[in-house]
A and B are shown apart, each in its own frame.
Chain A
């Protein structure tokens, strides 16, 4: 396969070029990756161990920023919000996506059309989604007003300004945006399943629900994994949706680590604390993704 491993009869200029060129062409990307990811992570880590405020300072100060972070109520509120939002967002998106994929898989008339409809929110930016839902959820003018107009005057739907419920409005908008995409991934997975297994099960007299719950859905394990990782990734880095929808409020009711990081790092002149919170976000993302990735790699090697 590897072209450059071919025997080189006499090192002509073009042969030499073929050895050097690939390395030369990939060098900028390698550099960008090395510096832009791994170098910058190290840099952020270093900043998190300094007393940097408005300007970066590079004298070692130990774990002061982490102590401050762990003693900060707003940080814990944002982590708790991430847990609530992330958990619900992932679970509901998975459930809706899977159910719709299974339903769409039943030789539905107009399947292509419906699929297109379900998926379009994914093309929108979270800022647009947040703007739209902010308007729909506006208690004075949105859904609540509509319900009142329809005669249900005793109903209230003021979640977006209610600190106890505001985080669930983020879940609603997030699920609206992403569940169609989950559906598409599951549908692709369903279409990739070997027909013969299902035919055999049918011969044995298994009913359709049984075939799905016993055979088809369990065999979608790799798809579940991919979807979970993508959704977890979206949840951890969620920033724009909340900024547009609630701005983190009311109070800090919908604050997330990403917003905490942005505000301390860029608008409050707390570089060190911002860096420490960024490192915690990295650990959170790693803690979620790595074990899954690792177990899957091991499965693949063994299989």
Chain B
């Protein structure tokens, strides 16, 4: 925004100190839970009882991490988080790729190949982004039962693709309407067809939008709980559901350090995406929300 000039009066200086102080305090407030999770996961249960939230672990002890990954109990099963972690990956990767590709094609059609009713269809799709999913999950469960899709991963991929399409379509459509139509016209005069134009001209210039979609869909699907808890069962459950089972299991001695280690494991993939995809992540979150 504006390059505002600062009068270096004592008052203005004090104001700047106040601003910095508040900003740093806010940073501490955002970081504290991460610190608490990490330090707790490295403590033994005795250390946890003796110390408090902010105390540092006495030594680097990764036992809780090993337990969380390989042998923690969620209900009756005691195989740790690793199986559920793999479930989430197996569900996320195909769902993200399919919904992104379809979203790109849809966006391409809704911007470059408009037909009668395509604008109305786009509106119908947009409204879908605001619906609470609770209003569709009962029929969805009926349909999945009718289809005989027993496999949890297959079910979740299908559900995530269907309910992710509005967002991916929206991202690509909003990007493609900014691409000059002459580009496509010229290609058509040269005899290029529907798919050729898409794969040769539009897709190569869509890298930023593809990144936004991949990141958005990855975080949405990895972090989903509602669909996971409703449409999966037993050892086919995704990571979020398993973590919730672990934390809210009431049998045996509560192993807080294992809970925290499991929570960090559940957070690692999306944190990784956030760190690597940084600026695209912000763009993905703000896309469609703020114009320009």
A-side residues, CB < 8 A to B, are 1-4, 6, 14, 17-18, 21-23, 25-26, 28-30, 32-34, 36-41, 43-44, 47, 56, 96, 99-100, 103-108, 114-129, 131-136, 141-143, 145-146, 149, 176, 180-181, 184-185, 188-193, 195, 198-199, 202, 208, 211, 216, 222-223, 226-227, 229-230, 233, 236-237, 239-240, 243-244, 247, 257-258, 261-262, 265-266, 271, 274-275, 277-279, 281-282, 285, 289
Contact = CB atoms under 8 A, between A and B. Distances in A.
Contacts of A39: 139
A210 to B, nearest CB: 12
B113 A22 contact: yes
**Does more than half of chain B's interface fall in helix, strand or loop, or is it mixed?**
helix
A192 B195 CA distance: 36
A190 B292 CA distance: 12
B120 to A, nearest CB: 11
Given A14-B191, A21-B194, A146-B53, A127 B22 contact: no
B114 A2 contact: yes
B115 A278 contact: no
Given A38-B124, A106-B16, A123 B290 contact: no
Contacts of B102: 28-29
Contacts, number: 296
Contact of B36 (A132, A266, A281): A132
A3 B181 contact: yes
A124 B135 contact: no
B134 A143 contact: no
Contacts of A285: 130-132
B253 interface: no
B37 A108 contact: no
A123 B138 contact: no
B133 A226 contact: no
B30 A146 contact: no
Interface string B98-110: 0000100110011
Contacts of A30: 121
Interface residues of B, number: 100
Contact of B52 (A41, A146, A208): A146
A244 B247 contact: yes
Nearest to B117: A30
A74 B163 CA distance: 30
B42 interface: no
B284 to A, nearest CB: 10
Given A125-B266, A184-B282, A282 B114 contact: no
28 contacts: A3-B188, A25-B109, A37-B131, A38-B124, A40-B139, A43-B142, A44-B138, A100-B26, A104-B23, A107-B3, A115-B282, A120-B34, A123-B219, A123-B274, A124-B271, A127-B240, A127-B266, A132-B263, A134-B247, A145-B53, A180-B30, A185-B286, A192-B1, A195-B2, A227-B289, A237-B226, A240-B226, A282-B135
